[in-house]
Amino acid sequence: MEKHSYNLSLEWTGDRKGILSSPEFPSTIEVVTPPEFDKGIAGHWSPEHLFTASVLSCFMTTFLAIAEYSKLEFVKFECKAEGILESVEGKFLMTEIILKPKVYIKNQEEIEKTERILHKSEKACLISNSIITNVVLDFEVWVM
């Protein structure tokens, strides 16, 4: 695979807010300092949300690719994520991201295959492989 580039811009709009944009997309995202910090603002996307979302969305797209390649027939995929921010030796770090996927399948015989694909997806996720944050997989497989 060749080298790829992803371009973003951020413009400060006042207080602890900014507008995140990319020349590749028509929409923007307002980002703020989260309310846990001084002068933070509740109810908006923060870098901590976007960091957690990066891992979550990469895990999903990796799962979709591996499931397709493995010919796993699933009915539904959904996943929640919890990003844990802590102070470690005087620095704030995202120390852990807990991924909680639920995969719904039709065939009882594919439970183990689904579990293997979930583990493989977490190990193959390029964002998870690019960070020092511990990524934990807490999945459920349901037969419909």
Q: Summarize pLDDT for 106-143 with one digit per residue, the tens.
A: 999 999 999 999 999 999 999 999 999 999 999 999 99
Closest CA to 120 of 63, 68, 81: 63
Please tell me the pTM assigned to this model. 0.94
* pLDDT given at position 95: 98
Strand partners, 10: 20
Helix (H) or strand (E) holding 62: helix 47-69
| Residue 1 predicted with pLDDT over 80 | no
Torsion of CA 68, 136, 46, 3, to 10 degrees: -50
Question: Residues 98-113, buried b or exposed e (16+ Cβ, 10 A)?
Answer: bbebebebeeeebeeb
Mean pLDDT for the stretch of residues 97-101? 98
